[in-house]
């Protein structure tokens, strides 16, 4: 899809799996915040931030309309997402929601591959994204969360406000972290024994 924002053309990938993903997220009880059931995702986002030494990290589930940060680490540590500025659409709950055309996670989701952007401004396709101006994001490291059914449910990502040379080590790290959190997600959907 093409969206216009602030006079700039933004390219958000077409997501053909949105409806199937949304059904799977609902079946797993993910995608909507229940105040206590997402503490493990917040703890995991803290771990991602620590391992990558970044100010922001997320465990992000994406339905057909928006992104939901089930796990969130921000510099202020308030977990409400208010540090995400105008890019997050709180809709009266919290600012853990963001439009699908903001950020880079929708690209990771559709590609089903990790994405490494040392400096988002080096890539015209990504430099015009609203998170650059609204939050000050300059680098991104993200990997898809593909569950045992083969559905890409969302992403795990680390972002920074300065360019970062992630390299192969960064790519290997985010892939490993994605595999680790997918194990937790798969446990949620496992049939009782």
Q: Classify residue 33 by its DSSP letter.
A: -
Domain region containing 140: 2-189
Give the torsion through C-alpha atoms of 67, 56, 135, 93, to 10 deg. 50
Q: What six digits make up the tokens of 22?
A: 């949304």
* pLDDT for res 193: 52
The domain tally of the chain equals 1
**CB 84 within 8 Å of CB 135:** yes
pLDDT tens for the chain, 193 residues long, are 444 444 444 467 788 888 999 999 988 888 665 545 678 999 999 999 999 999 999 999 998 888 899 999 988 776 555 555 544 544 444 568 888 888 899 999 999 999 999 999 998 888 888 888 888 899 999 999 999 999 999 999 999 999 999 999 999 999 999 999 999 899 886 665 5
* pLDDT for res 78: 63
* pLDDT for res 129: 84
DSSP string, 48-108: HHHHHT-SEEEEEEE-SSEEEEEEEE-TT--SS-GGGGGGB--TTT-S-EEETTSSSHHHH
* pLDDT for res 144: 98
Count of CB atoms within 10 A of residue 184's CB?
A: 13
- pTM for the model stands at 0.84
Q: Is the dihedral of CA 116, 148, 37, 30 positive or negative?
A: positive
21: domain CATH number is 3.30.450.40
Q: What is the C-alpha to C-alpha distance for residues 178 and 155, in angstroms, rounded to an integer?
A: 7
């Amino acid at each position: 899809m093409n969206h216009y924002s602030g006079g700039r053309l933004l390219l958000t990938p077409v997501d053909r799996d949105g409806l199937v993903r949304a059904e799977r997220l609902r079946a797993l009880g993910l995608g909507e915040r229940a105040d206590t059931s997402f503490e493990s995702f917040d703890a995991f986002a803290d771990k991602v931030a620590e391992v990558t030494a970044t100010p922001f990290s997320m465990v992000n589930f994406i339905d057909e309309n928006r992104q939901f940060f089930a796990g969130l680490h921000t510099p202020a540590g308030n977990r409400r997402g208010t540090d995400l500025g105008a890019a997050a659409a709180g809709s009266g709950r919290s600012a853990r929601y963001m439009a699908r055309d903001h950020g880079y996670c929708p690209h990771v989701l559709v590609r089903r591959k990790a994405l490494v952007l040392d400096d988002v401004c080096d890539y015209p396709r990504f430099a015009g994204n609203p998170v650059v101006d609204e939050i000050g994001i300059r680098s991104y490291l993200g990997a898809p969360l593909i569950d045992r059914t083969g559905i890409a449910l969302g992403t795990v990502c680390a972002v920074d406000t300065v360019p970062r040379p992630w390299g192969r080590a960064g790519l290997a790290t985010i892939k490993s972290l994605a595999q680790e959190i997918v194990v937790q997600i798969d446990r949620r959907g496992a049939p009782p024994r």
